[in-house]
Amino acid sequence: MKTIKLFTLLLIAGFTLASCGDNKKEEEEKARMEKMEAERAAEMKAEKERMEMESNSIAAKAMETDTLSTLVSALKSAQLAETFKTEEGPYTVFAPTNAAFEKVDKATLDTLMKKENSQKLATLLKYHVVEDEVMAADLVQLIDDNEGEYEITTLDGGKLTAMKDGENVVLKDENGNTATIVQTDIDASNGVIHLIDGVVMKKKEN
């Protein structure tokens, strides 16, 4: 009789332990599945945000603007299009229009567009970029606060001087040549674009 009772108790204990073990496994599996689901949701959210950012990026806005088709071609040739598509920035781009590029000597521009000169082209284009978001009103305020001239440091370390000419804002490059801002505040997910009517150039090193 005692043997039967002992056997029964052992069976009950075994079932209890097995049940506890099964419950623990179920909880672990549930936790694992919840973690995977959370990670998947986070990845989907990040991908959605990335796609939204890229579709409204500086590169995307430039591609949507008919008067910037030459600049877009130049960005691609200089391997910078991806930078202004995927990098968070923010950047301010003083974007020369097609008409601005037409003022540049055609032979010079054609040479810069060649694959072997992509680094020189990239340097030229970075001279039109500031690593910050500067809206038009902010730029005017900076000019006013600095006795009519404000020095801008560009992405490649060059200098541009912003000043007012009547109601317009102009940029003077290191050679003393100027370009006028003709359209402002094209807002992008990673910065802002201002259109200019000339291509500014860094001073050549001796």
Q: Say if residue 197's pLDDT is above 80.
A: yes
Question: Angle CA(106)–CA(161)–CA(102) in degrees, nearest 5?
Answer: 15
Nearest to 205 by CA among 157, 144, 169: 157
Per-residue pLDDT band at 151 (split at 50, 70, 90) = very high
Mean pLDDT of 123-138: 95
Contact assessment for residue 199 and residue 96, using Cβ atoms and an 8 Å cutoff: yes
- Asked, for residue 3, whether it belongs to a domain, the answer is no
Q: Say if residue 144's pLDDT is above 90.
A: yes
- Asked, for residue 41, whether it belongs to a domain, the answer is no
Per-residue pLDDT band at 33 (split at 50, 70, 90) = confident
Judged by average pLDDT, the poorest of 38-52, 64-78, 168-182, 187-201 is: 38-52
- Asked, for residue 39, whether it belongs to a domain, the answer is no
- Asked, for residue 182, whether it belongs to a domain, the answer is yes
The CATH number of residue 78's host domain is 2.30.180.10
- Asked, for residue 73, whether it belongs to a domain, the answer is yes
Torsion (CA) 10, 11, 17, 22 in degrees, nearest 10 = 170
Q: How far apart are CA 191 and CA 9, in angstroms?
A: 74
